Amino acid sequence: MRRWQIYGDPPHHPLHLPHRAHGPQARGHAGGLGGNNGTTVTAAVLANKLGLSWRTKEGLKKANYFGSLLQASTVSLGTGPEGEVYVPFRDLLPMVHPNDIIFDGWDISSMDLGQGMERAKVLDWALQEQLRPYMAKLKPRPSVYYPEFIAANQKDRADNLVTGTKAEQLDQIRRDIQDFKQKGGVDKVIVLWTANTERFCDIIPGVNDTAKNLLAAIQTGAEVSPSTLFAVASILEGCAYINGAPQNTFVPGAVELAVQKGVFVGGDDFKSGQTKIKSVLVDFLVSAGIKPAAIVSYNHLGNNDGKNLSAPQQFRSKEISKSNVVDDMVQSNPLLYGPGEKPDHCVVIKYVPYVGDSKRAMDEYTSEIMMGGTNTIALHNTCEDSLLASPIILDLVLLTELCQRISFCTESEPTFQTFHSVLSLLSYLLKAPLVPQGAPVVNSFFRQRACIENVLRACLGLPPQGHMQLEHKMQRGGLTSSVGQICVTATTPKSAGVLKNGYHVPVLNGVQHNGFETHR
């Protein structure tokens, strides 16, 4: 019989986590601004800012930010005199409001965003009619088009292009970013790739393996993908860059450049529908001692993303990002899986134009259970692709901007530092999380969310959320009801108001709490 002997002596490292409390205006710039995601997220922010409502056959609808972690979910601060205290995620720390984001960007298609919104067929027509006067004024800037990196069927859209050599194109993108900052009068620019999925790049020694070689490769016209070219331009301009597609934009040279410049980068691939459910369900099964043995995921969709993914090389990029999502959960349970063992995992994507942006996802999970039995779970999920991705885009921009205002130190290392340039805190929102070299990759949905929640709690001087509630589980008591009770004062960008979904301890501004000080 195997015996486990585990001795734990958790290290204690006091942290000081000041952050600049002022939530500035931010500017979001999208590669692929005129596509389904770009037009939908821009329209959503405009509709919320204008307070629009519209009628459908289901009744009156009002603009909202449902689907956003920061804007539409709550977190528990702890136990108050009358029970659990819940507050909106967005009120934990001062954050930019989505309505204050100004959008600009690039696209290989010259359509204005009003036409692009109509082409996307995502939003109800009654809403489009109200938004068109505003959206028609927004036109994407010319973008970079390398036919060898995306499907040949995209050629008919490519009428809005930056010409010249790669070096000249890099300079133009940098001028665009500088123009964004000057004309918008904004504090920060965050660039996000929501354009076509590209094929994978080969990692070539002397070309993209170091920052120096990558910059030289751009000057000589060697192979560099459009998304990597945008990443380099953003990093050189000091702007955070997020890759919302599955290709390997962040070649080693791009990551090294970001570290050298102290600029945040994040990726890869928005985690919005089928993969988000997979990261929840597999986590549940493995944690329950059930062994997933085969996972088959089938998708069909009819938007331009599906059209581009109908090409084999672009599909391969997506297949990789969707397949690796279960790896860390499998490795967490050696009682179920031996060394090198993992479930059979198959991913299929087909292009069916008629269904448009309404992607169909069908999954079958076959698991081994007690005494040789099997359990099969079959799911059908209709994913409104861009309406699921848009709040994730907003969360990525807002969370990245917040992280730019957080620094921390320890007693043994008193010099303040920021997060690593590879911003793995964004993993909750991405299919294939990019992490610093040597760091573990976490795909478990609940661990990813807890990470964000606990980092923000630390900034408030609150301990990590444990959910133990030991005071309610003892036979004779011995712990008073004050255990875990909180009396929190924290800096928020606006008054918290009265909560309807729980018990509320007032949240105040400009205080020092538990060694954490905020400054207006």
Which residues are catalytic, by number?
269, 318, 359, 431
- The sign one gets for the Cα dihedral 158, 164, 169, 171 is negative
* Sequence letter at residue 228: T
DSSP 96-144: --GGG-EEEEEESS---HHHHHHHHT-S-HHHHHHHHHHHTT--PEEB-
Structure tokens at 14: 């006091």
Helix H or strand E segment including 452: helix 445-459
Instruction: Assess contact for 85 and 498: CB atoms under 8 A.
Output: no
CA separation for the pair 289, 433 (Å, rounded): 25
Number of neighbouring beta carbons within 10 Å of residue 59: 6
- 458: helix, coil or strand? helix
**Minimal CA–CA distance to 390: which of 188, 154, 122?**
122
Between the CA of residue 91 and those of 16, 56, 96, 418, 484, what are the distances in Å?
A: 20, 32, 11, 22, 20
Helix H or strand E segment including 330: helix 327-331
CA separation for the pair 443, 244 (Å, rounded): 16
**Beta-bridge mates of residue 374:** 368
Q: What is the largest CA-CA distance in the chain?
A: 78
Residue where the block lists tokens 């599955």 = 246
Helix H or strand E segment including 6: none
- 390: helix, coil or strand? helix
- 241: helix, coil or strand? strand
DSSP 257-298: HHHHHT--EE-S-B--SHHHHHHHHHHHHHHTT-EEEEEEEE
Structure tokens at 210: 């170091």
Helix H or strand E segment including 55: strand 53-56
Instruction: Assess contact for 467 and 519: CB atoms under 8 A.
Output: no
Answer whether the bond into residue 268 is a cis peptide, omega within 30°: yes
CA separation for the pair 251, 203 (Å, rounded): 7
Structure tokens at 196: 């076509």
